[in-house]
Amino acid sequence: MGWSCCSCICTSRVNIHLTLRSFLILASFLFGCGRQEAAGALWNLSFDDRNREAIAAVGGVEALVSFYG
């Protein structure tokens, strides 16, 4: 079809990183229940190894610590 699997995977990873960064920026403006929901969403995403790596790569762990620290 004219596309390689490698470029598809790389594009997918870039999209995951951009989406997670945007999510973390938005979540930083939330309070109380909103932050709990954001933390729960990241927790649910973290069950997939690729998502877990992406969350760590964009600073998601640090963001969660700052939410509650």
Q: What is the pLDDT of residue 13?
A: 61
What tokens were used for 53?
């790596």
Whole-prediction pTM: 0.66
Q: What is the pLDDT of residue 29?
A: 79
Tell me: the pLDDT tens digits for 16-40?
A: 777 788 878 777 777 888 788 888 8
- Determine the longest span between alpha carbons in the chain, in angstroms: 49
Cα 28 from chain centre = 13
Integer Cα distance of 23 and 21 in angstroms: 5
Assess contact for 50 and 13: CB atoms under 8 A: yes
Q: What is the pLDDT of residue 51?
A: 85
Residue 35, CB half-sphere, CA atoms under 13 Å: how many?
13
Tell me: the pLDDT tens digits for 48-63?
A: 888 888 888 888 888 8
